[in-house]
Structure 1
Amino acid sequence: MGAAQVFSGIAIGVAATLAVQAALDRGAVQYVDDLLSFATPEGRLFNQAKAALEPILFDPYSAKYQGLRSVDTEYGTAVCGIVNAKNRMGAYVGNSKFVYLATGGLAEVEGSETEKRTTVFLHVCNPGYVKSPPRPPAPPPAVTTTTIPMPAPPPVPQAYVVQVASQRTEADARASWDAARKRFPLVLGAFNATIARTDRGQQGVYYRAQVGPFSKSDADSMCEALRNQGGDCVVAQTP
């Protein structure tokens, strides 16, 4: 083997060693970056977004991300960014815009079949996007009141009395009542009379022996029975 071949083999070996070391260094840097990404809430959010994109990408381990940012939307916090991953042929498909909604864990990649089958939220990643204001709360339902009419009070029954005697003095009125009760026991025997004082103005004061109160029909029947037996009476309405 000549010297040239020896030096060529040494050069190739050194180059391979340097390439392997560079790859290991890049892996170490990536590993450190991954560890640091879990140290902040935003870093953990970005990792959640990457995990949500894995079922959508054909080769998620080849994915390269750039421009990751969190966006406050009407759907909650979202992660927007650019992803580039390999396809079935092993070639990178190019940069595609993606969105991840933290609420619900929904992820969409621009142009993917998943995006075509679902509601598209990618517009929240567009430049100039402005969060829609929250809808005002719905007014409370109108309270309808139904007024139930109160039943009318029953009419006050009119009271009537049977007047048996009318005298100038209370004593005379009571004596007239006692005499009539003894004379007509079948009609008056079960009752006690009330002596009512009535001022007739210029005609003077009268004392009236009255029995009752009764309904109008009962008062008329009693007075008629008393008259049939020879007595005298007047049916009067109470004040």
Structure 2
Amino acid sequence: MKHIVTATVVATMSLAIAGCDINDWNQKRIAKNAVAEKLRDPESAKFRSLDVFGPHGSIVVCGQVNGKNGFGAYAGFERFISEYEGGLVRLESSWGEGFERAWEEECRPAS
């Protein structure tokens, strides 16, 4: 039990030193799990460029994901938007023409 507490404290301190808000880290973790579940091979998910935004009072995580396709090869990174703590996931490849507008509105810092 002592090792678990120590590991948690070390992880929390590392995030604080790196300037990463614990809430942002948790939101990213939730979003990564939700996005991975939308992929053909969830275990293969690789993420990059994750950012947390709060447009219109809701939390949105935007980023890029790469996963394996039906042939077992990585398909290439694509953008995603995860809202409502992972309840709504939009992948660029399956969302259609409205994705670009949503990305522009929801995945930019507030001015």
TM tier relative to shorter chain? 0.5 to 0.7
Mark the runs of 5 or more structure 2 residues left unpaired by the alignment. Answer: 1-6, 16-21
Instruction: Give the structure 2 partner of residue 84 of structure 1.
Output: 66
**Larger of the two Rg values belongs to structure:** 1
Distance of 1:67 and 1:50 partners within structure 2: 12
- Give the alignment partner of residue 41 of structure 1, picking from 23, 26, 39: 23
Judged with a 3 Å threshold, the aligned counterparts in structure 2 of structure 1 residues 107 and 75 are, in CA distance, closer, same or farther, namely farther
TM-score of the two chains, using structure 1 as the length reference = 0.33
Deviation of 1:130 (Å): 7.1
Determine what percentage of the aligned residue pairs are the same residue: 30
Secondary structure of the corresponding residue to residue 30 of structure 2? helix
Q: Which amino acid aligns with 2:63?
A: G
Distance of 1:73 and 1:48 partners within structure 2: 18
Give the conservation status (yes or no) of the 8 Å contact 1:123–1:129: no
Distance of 1:52 and 1:92 partners within structure 2: 19
Structure 2 residue 101 is the aligned partner of structure 1 residue 126 = no
Judged with a 3 Å threshold, the aligned counterparts in structure 2 of structure 1 residues 80 and 105 are, in CA distance, closer, same or farther, namely same
- Regions of 4+ moved over 6 Å: none
Instruction: Give the structure 2 partner of residue 100 of structure 1.
Output: 82
**Greater share of helix:** 2
Instruction: Give the structure 1 partner of residue 4 of structure 2.
Output: none
Distance of 1:121 and 1:102 partners within structure 2: 17
**Greater share of strand:** 1
Return the structure number with greater relative CO, CA threshold 8 A, min gap 6: 2
TM-score of the two chains, using structure 2 as the length reference = 0.67
Structure 2 residue 70 is the aligned partner of structure 1 residue 55 = no
Judged with a 3 Å threshold, the aligned counterparts in structure 2 of structure 1 residues 103 and 45 are, in CA distance, closer, same or farther, namely closer
Deviation of 1:125 (Å): 3.1
Deviation of 1:122 (Å): 5.7
Instruction: Give the structure 2 partner of residue 19 of structure 1.
Output: none
Mark the runs of 5 or more structure 1 residues left unpaired by the alignment. Answer: 1-31, 132-239
Deviation of 1:36 (Å): 3.7
**Residue pairs, 1:146-157, within 5 angstroms:** none
Instruction: Give the structure 1 partner of residue 55 of structure 2.
Output: 73
